[in-house]
Amino acid sequence: MLRGSQNLPRRLQAVRERIAAAADRANRSVSEITLLAVTKAQPVDTLRAVADLQVRDFGESYLNEAMTKLDALATLPLTWHFVGRLQANKTRSIAEHFHWVHGLDRLHIAERLSAQRPFHAPPLQVCIQVNLAEEASKGGVPPAELAEFARAVAGLPRLRLRGLMCLPPVESEPARQRVWFARLRTLRDTLNEQGGRLDTLSMGMSADFEGAILEGATVVRIGSALFGPRPARA
């Protein structure tokens, strides 16, 4: 057994209990919230162990590493989410092998994903990344440009625009964390009032997912709370 694998059931149960408690506080059903296990830098055997515990959604950021895992776990009924920075020279493999993309923020990348999505596959599910604080160090669409960008993405034939995603500024205070998540929810609601059909808010990670759930998160991206400190990449 891999070092640390014996702790997975305990950690997963603790995460699930925290999700359920936050959902209860928000008067929401826990069934509305998807636990997305962020498995970048984790070995295949660890992913298999998590899948054995009935986790079905896996998030990867590094394409070459991810493809090894997709091949090794191809017989399992898993949903694969690409959660890393999108590069033009990697869109074909992402379009061909992933089910979801969470960080869409450039139209030419969206156009490539749509053109390269196989016609025998269902449309690629995508979330637009919003740079809520307009931080130069992070990707994402500025809020003022979101409506126009969302209309363009929604018009691409092989993509299905599902919602919004954010990486907000790091905040130590839960109340401050919730401010950013509430802003993303408001942006989603505004788009829907303008004719959008968005049902997904991909927000919240190990340090702040309870606040995200209180503000309407439907996908929480959990890495270290589930796996412990991330191992170094080779």
Mean pLDDT by 10 residues, the chain (234 residues): 68 98 98 97 96 98 96 98 96 98 97 98 98 94 98 98 96 93 98 97 97 98 91 58
Residues 220 and 210: their CA atoms lie apart, in Å, by 9
The DSSP 8-state label assigned to residue 113 in this structure reads H
Which candidate, 178, 164, 167, places its Cα nearest to that of 139? Answer: 167
pLDDT at position 217 is 98
Q: Is 85 exposed, middle or buried (0-12, 13-18, 19+ CB in 10 A)?
A: middle
> Domains of the chain by range and CATH?
5-227 (3.20.20.10)
Spell out the long-range contacts of 16-25 with Cβ–Cβ below 8 A and sequence spacing 24 or more. 18/209, 18/210, 18/225, 19/209, 19/213, 19/220, 21/210, 22/209, 22/210, 22/213, 22/214, 23/213, 25/214
* Cβ neighbours of 56 (radius 10 Å): 14
